[in-house]
Chains A and B, each alone.
Chain A
Amino acid sequence: MSIIKAEHLTYSYPRSTKPTLDNLSFEIQPSTVTALLGCSGAGKSTLLLTLAGIIPEFYGGSWSGSLKVGDVVVSAEDSHAADVIQQVAIVLQVPDTQLIGFRVEETIAFALENQGIPPAQIRHRIQQVLDELNIAHLRYRLTSTLSGGQKQVCVLAAMLALDTPIIVLDEPTAALDPAGKALVSRVLERLKQLGKTLVISDQTLDWFQHLIDYVLVLAPGGKLQFSGDLKSFLKEPERVCLSGVSTPSLTEIAYELRQHGCQPDPWLTLEEARTWLKENLTISQLSPPVRKLSEIDSAKYIVECVEVTYTYPNANVPAINDVSFEARSGQLIGIIGQNGSGKSTAIRHLNGLLKPQKGRVLIAGRSVAEMTVAQMARWVGIVFQNPDLMLFNETVEQEIGFSLNSTQDIHWRQKRKSYLLGLLEQFGLTPHLSRSPLALSVGEKQLLAILCALALDPEVLVLDEPTFGMDRFGREQLIRLLKQLLQEGKTIICVSHDLSLLIENADDLIVFKDGRLVCCQPTHELIRETKQFEGFQIPLPAHVQLSNELLGFPCLTPSEFAQHLVICSS
């Protein structure tokens, strides 16, 4: 018998002319993990809030059809919000906003205290939950000292303490580094073993596809596009593409092999893929492909960071220590590392937001220390992880023109504006010119923020987690834009946890660990050592791991790996 059942569920927000959820009918069985997928704006978060009893109670709006959550039936006549909330716990994207309490123990206790449970029972329940999730060592830790992953696990523990049969999670790892993702994934596995029903919305499947029993895909407009098991979902490339979710690396290899006459089912784990490949293909080690050294190697350095050290006020250890790297015109440099490893501190030195306490930073030969941040905007454009921090004008057009107003040269201003409008046209944003920037999708906002940073025609573009919250369409647009900018000779420095994006596009990769730059090498050389990346706690994408293992050299894309497999087995 299903634990969640929707029948013709339709919901519209107040003052909205179109429904956000449109005639949804599906069932979810108890003790299963359901992946809720769909492109940006398809209604995933709305559906999660509905399952958690927050919609329609909290927002109002119009509702039709019915939704059964546990034993409670929600209908237009009675939302039964209080009863639904007893059945469902919700985990939000950013754990900081859900950590009520100073210590881990307090956060877990909070909901139990609110229900009037006697203190002795609460203490027992806290210990039980911590033991169940193997995080008893965190009990007395201050929440402010936890890593991103530990914070999210602390929230999960608090939700587990509520002992609801259902837990819904809204992109729970979007703000986490690779180590945090791995930790959350392990904890979710444990919750599944404990018999919880999990509904997880996300834009990527790689980190939790081994847990998924059931997939729900929402199409734009909130209609149900697909419901079924994961293998059936992954079988059809078209379906995966339409869902807006990035195709998992293993699945992409399978699709590529199909084009060469093989018939593998999409694998869900590395082990499955390894076994199939060894059983069905004769794989011999090949000599690695010769990677062309691009012309940029002869170009002059545009970014020079020399032995930079910076310690924040009140900190005992430097955030970055003796960091040196360079970048040339037309080059894309990827920066990776766990949260707190010094990546953001390093890039804040590139436009003078932070001034080095030791060492120097030069952009096109000029010392950053001698200019103001506003002056540096003509040389270095930085786009932060959250575009909402940048966008504030009433319309997209005003937003684009805003930075240009700082220059007096009308001719140059007009030239730049027409260039930027051309880019807007190219990336399909022209229809939104008179709309508020805040009404755009995550991907569109991020593209707009990049165009705003390009307004003053900087030589260097620095991106901090540009794919945060983006669906596959936004990501594809972003890659297209980056390639175009590189061709125009811009230097791009990109900080990201999206290792596939960097491996495919970055010329060099820089790895930060504990405030130090531990590696800086051409991408294809650095990713040769799977073990080294395990040491960084950054898992390499499946195609890179498999190509290192089976072919003896790394492939940069699943497609390249599949082609080499076909060559060597034929």
Chain B
Amino acid sequence: MPQLFQYIHRFSPIHALDPRTKLLAMVLCSALAWYLRAPLPLFVLLLGLVFYCWTGQIVEQGIQFIFAISPLLLASFVMWNFIGSHDGLVLLDLGFLRFTESGLTLAIAAVCRILIMSGSFYALLATTDFGSMIVGLTQIGIPYSLAFGVGLSLQILPLITQEFSNIMDAQRSRGQELDRGGLFERIRNYLAIAVPLLLRSLRLGQTLSFALLTYRFGSTSQRTSIYELKFKRGDYAFMALYLVMSVGLVLLQEALIL
């Protein structure tokens, strides 16, 4: 199972950026993906994200991510062709499903939008480590306990994924065929996974509570940090690049509408 939502350590210019810069980029990307309608500016924005992944040396993992969400992309593509506009040139008519030029445009835009929104979130997580993510979140005003909760969840997600995989292996090794039988039998089959996973997750939660207690978590409201975040030249250059791109894309969108 690919390790989604996990930090990928690289020595890249993107990894060296301040987490707030990357957070800003993600927010900007998502807002633009929501605002832009035409496929061309969305496609350019997508290229911007590809550039981010390329500079961050996470292209291979990015492709795996796209592969993992491909069912969603495919479903969206078909659905937008199905429920979207049926005006314009008919490209393919299957009777129950008609692909028109405008429907196809809407579907491509929807796929781009999903890719940008989920991909920018993925790219942020893949290039920002647990510690600096928490500090970045607190610096933008999110309470530490909440920021820590988000960071910790991202850190333990791989542990739970590993547990899930181990339990699946253990049950299959017992001769358990998970997808055998009718609905009721399948639900029962999956209890063999759900029960141990639930119990193991509870145990993990309890152990983490002990660990946090030992680490004096919450013992003072005046918490300090060894990370000292400072915007550097690279951050300003990156933010300028993203702002220019954003303004350009908005103008392009307006020009296309006119």
Inter-subunit contact B192/A388 (CB<8 Å)? no
Q: Closest CB of chain A to B225's CB: distance in Å?
A: 5
Inter-subunit contact B175/A100 (CB<8 Å)? no
Inter-subunit contact A92/B207 (CB<8 Å)? yes
Question: Which A residues are CB-close (under 8 A) to B210?
Answer: 49, 54, 58, 90, 92
Q: Closest CB of chain A to B19's CB: distance in Å?
A: 12
**Please, how many angstroms separate the alpha-carbon atoms of A430 and B34 in the complex?**
63
Q: Is B140 an interface residue (CB 8 A)?
A: no
Question: Which B residues are CB-close (under 8 A) to A101?
Answer: 130-131
Question: Which A residues are CB-close (under 8 A) to B3?
Answer: 314
Inter-subunit contact B218/A114 (CB<8 Å)? yes
Pick from B171, B191, B200, B218: contact of A388, CB under 8 Å: B200
**Please, how many angstroms separate the alpha-carbon atoms of A49 and B214 in the complex?**
11
Question: Which B residues are CB-close (under 8 A) to A412?
Answer: none
Inter-subunit contact A85/B214 (CB<8 Å)? yes
Question: Which B residues are CB-close (under 8 A) to A378?
Answer: 175
Q: Is B172 an interface residue (CB 8 A)?
A: yes
Identify which of residues 195-238 in chain B touch chain A, using a CB-to-CB cut-off of 8 Å.
Answer: 195-196, 199-200, 204, 207-220, 222-226, 228
Identify which of residues 37-59 in chain A touch chain B, using a CB-to-CB cut-off of 8 Å.
Answer: 49, 52, 54, 58
Inter-subunit contact B173/A351 (CB<8 Å)? yes
Q: Is A285 an interface residue (CB 8 A)?
A: no
Identify which of residues 358-407 in chain A touch chain B, using a CB-to-CB cut-off of 8 Å.
Answer: 372-374, 377-378, 380-382, 384, 386, 388-392, 402-403, 406
**Please, how many angstroms separate the alpha-carbon atoms of A89 and B210 in the complex?**
11
Most buried by B among A97, A126, A313: A97
**Interface residues on chain A, number (Cβ under 8 Å):** 64
Identify which of residues 153-184 in chain B touch chain A, using a CB-to-CB cut-off of 8 Å.
Answer: 155, 159, 163, 166-167, 169-177
Inter-subunit contact A85/B213 (CB<8 Å)? yes
Inter-subunit contact B226/A353 (CB<8 Å)? no
Q: Closest CB of chain A to B247's CB: distance in Å?
A: 35
Question: Which B residues are CB-close (under 8 A) to A455?
Answer: 174-175
Size class of the contact patch on chain B: 35 or more
Whether A353 touches B172, Cβ cut-off 8 Å, given contacts A113-B223, A406-B177, is yes
Pick from A109, A372, A384: contact of B166, CB under 8 Å: A384
Q: Closest CB of chain A to B240's CB: distance in Å?
A: 29
Inter-subunit contact B196/A123 (CB<8 Å)? no
Q: Is A536 an interface residue (CB 8 A)?
A: no
Inter-subunit contact A373/B224 (CB<8 Å)? no
Pick from A52, A111, A381, A402: contact of B215, CB under 8 Å: A111
Inter-subunit contact A392/B223 (CB<8 Å)? no
Inter-subunit contact B214/A114 (CB<8 Å)? no
Inter-subunit contact B131/A389 (CB<8 Å)? no
Question: Which B residues are CB-close (under 8 A) to A452?
Answer: 174
Whether A389 touches B196, Cβ cut-off 8 Å, given contacts A96-B159, A122-B224, A351-B173, is yes
Inter-subunit contact B207/A94 (CB<8 Å)? yes
Inter-subunit contact B169/A348 (CB<8 Å)? yes
Q: Closest CB of chain B to A138's CB: distance in Å?
A: 15
Inter-subunit contact A390/B219 (CB<8 Å)? no
Whether A102 touches B2, Cβ cut-off 8 Å, given contacts A378-B175, A382-B173, is no
Question: Which B residues are CB-close (under 8 A) to A115?
Answer: 216, 219-220
Inter-subunit contact B199/A97 (CB<8 Å)? no
Q: Is A116 an interface residue (CB 8 A)?
A: yes
Inter-subunit contact A85/B216 (CB<8 Å)? yes
Q: Is A250 an interface residue (CB 8 A)?
A: no
Pick from A90, A98, A102: contact of B131, CB under 8 Å: A102
Question: Which B residues are CB-close (under 8 A) to A456?
Answer: 175
Q: Is B186 an interface residue (CB 8 A)?
A: no
Inter-subunit contact B131/A116 (CB<8 Å)? no
Question: Which A residues are CB-close (under 8 A) to B159?
Answer: 96-97
Q: Closest CB of chain A to B229's CB: distance in Å?
A: 12
Please provide the 3 A-B residue pairs with the shortest distance between their CB atoms, ordered closest to farther. A377-B175, A392-B195, A389-B170
Q: Which residues of A contact B (CB under 8 A)?
A: 49, 52, 54, 58, 85, 89-90, 92, 94, 96-98, 100-103, 105-106, 109-119, 122-123, 126, 142, 158-159, 162, 313-314, 348, 351, 353, 372-374, 377-378, 380-382, 384, 386, 388-392, 402-403, 406, 438, 452-453, 455-456
Add 13 more A-B contacts to A105-B226, A380-B173 (CB < 8 A): A58-B210, A97-B211, A100-B152, A102-B7, A102-B131, A111-B214, A113-B224, A116-B220, A116-B222, A118-B224, A314-B60, A377-B175, A406-B175
Q: Which residues of B contact A (CB under 8 A)?
A: 2-3, 7, 9, 60-61, 64, 129-131, 152, 155, 159, 163, 166-167, 169-177, 191-192, 195-196, 199-200, 204, 207-220, 222-226, 228
Instruction: Give 24 A-B contacts (CB < 8 Å), ordered by A residue.
Output: A97-B208, A100-B152, A100-B215, A101-B130, A102-B129, A103-B129, A105-B226, A112-B224, A113-B225, A116-B222, A119-B228, A122-B226, A162-B216, A314-B2, A314-B64, A378-B175, A380-B173, A388-B196, A389-B196, A392-B192, A403-B174, A403-B175, A403-B176, A453-B173
